[in-house]
Structure 1
């Protein structure tokens, strides 16, 4: 049996025997909220089920996106409270959006740190709306969030778990080298090898000069559970290199896990294949149950 398939089956088998205290529900409320971050006002929505077992703040990818309402509804129907907000400079949120679509660098260290401040403010705001103060809060994000989530979690002890869809564990400059090499070619992996991609990612000259963000620095400080979900055909991040780094963390005893989907690309959470989302939900149920048990025993 190949390893990616085995890891998926193992996760499913280890999770399906969870207590049946988590049930799907279409009964939830939506409340619009505003909160301050670094001198500007961000706007979002809180989706609250009747009896949430966990709470998450959704962290954006690189695009100029508003609050992720459809994804939030998928989560809340599983019993998870959600705060999702318009990205800085987008929708009803103040500030300035930074990104290639407007000719600016959105993976500059300054911008990533600014977005982590926004995520931190969202977590602190969300906690005030949760009646049960013992409900674990986590971060769920996509792509660029792979740099933002570790920075945020390393600074805010209220964050107790993280789920990262197609998120890098390498530096911003390494990711850029890989992305330039694949050049948006969906057939990239038909004509290139892993060794090929690794060589370019490690050694290609950089087209831009800026201070790189290395998520390993923040991840080294964390002891909270983390789950990464990767698509093997990803042409935005070099998945095998990211997994290699996670394996090093696992050897060090970090509670980091990952699942690799051989048929998927970068959009692991929005693909028609719901397996990544389903596995993430079961994982959150398991980890938050463990977190609650550890709090009771203290």
Structure 2
């Protein structure tokens, strides 16, 4: 499918990050709770369907123990986008075990990221069966940790036709951790550090965890679907300018990837 076919979708997904007062929104959508199987466990979620959706998205979680993202999903549905949002495995009504920092476990090792990717893949396959118009394009929308999960999922499921990523890394999991430990949650980090400081730290800091790194570039290299990344310049979770450099490399190679920097 051509890149331009999703230009309107990109615009809407960009605009919904602005204040609600910008829009004249309709509440003409229905909500249906669903359950589906993934890797031997049952995941629970909700489907929000406008009357005539022009696109559909599955919401992919960040690293926290996140339940279904109903408020974000409603905002998308009001703009004519069908949504499937589900409780992360081990959270809410979903089965399985949650792995993450809040329970003292490493949730970005390759095994867990691939497992979460299989959950997203199962969500896409389930969602397709609920859409009346089988030509409705399905994409993935996600946050933070989804920057590794979405490319893996999209590279394995040809039903996925686009992706939108909020504050998502294009660097390896270990590189992201080096940066995150360096900023240490300090909201004033960029007032006291330079881009050069951050890059030097990412390049040379010893890793606190020992595991095989996941590099999203391997999956992104295989993709030809449109992708849109949304960044905030003062992010203290990912090194935004380094991530943008990687996207620019992909763009030079002809990949249909775009980004917006706030």
Q: Structures share a fold, TM > 0.5? A: yes
CA apart distance, 1:202: 1.3
CA apart distance, 1:34: 0.2
Secondary structure at 1:83's aligned position in 2? strand
CA apart distance, 1:31: 0.3
* Contact 2:144–2:168 (Cα < 8 Å) also in 1: yes
Runs (4+) off by over 6 Å: 1-19
CA apart distance, 1:233: 0.3
For structure 2, which runs of at least 5 residues remain unmatched after alignment? none
Distance 2:120 2:18 in 1: 30
Deviations 1:82-106 (A, max 9, x none): 0000000000000000001111100
**2:136 paired residue number:** 135
Structure 1 residues 32 and 158, CA gap change in structure 2 (3 angstroms): same
* Contact 2:89–2:95 (Cα < 8 Å) also in 1: yes
* Contact 1:8–1:259 (Cα < 8 Å) also in 2: no
CA apart distance, 1:14: 12
Structure-2-length-normalised TM-score: 0.92
For structure 1, which runs of at least 5 residues remain unmatched after alignment? 262-298
Structure 1 residues 164-173 or 8-17, which shifts more?
Answer: 8-17
Distance 2:49 2:92 in 1: 22
CA apart distance, 1:259: 0.6
CA apart distance, 1:27: 0.9
Distance 2:196 2:55 in 1: 41
Deviations 1:95-142 (A, max 9, x none): 000001111100010000000000000000000000000000000000
Structure 1 residues 43 and 219, CA gap change in structure 2 (3 angstroms): same
CA apart distance, 1:12: 9.9
Deviations 1:39-62 (A, max 9, x none): 000000000001100000000000
CA apart distance, 1:25: 2.1
Distance 1:257 1:34 in 2: 33
Distance 2:130 2:5 in 1: 40
- Number of residue pairs aligned between Structure 1 and Structure 2: 260
* Contact 1:34–1:42 (Cα < 8 Å) also in 2: yes
Structure-1-length-normalised TM-score: 0.81
Deviations 1:154-205 (A, max 9, x none): 0000000000000000000000000000011000000000000011011110
Structure 1 residues 142-151 or 6-15, which shifts more?
Answer: 6-15
Distance 1:249 1:22 in 2: 33
Structure 1 residues 253 and 15, CA gap change in structure 2 (3 angstroms): farther
Superposition RMSD in Å: 5.3
* Contact 1:22–1:79 (Cα < 8 Å) also in 2: no
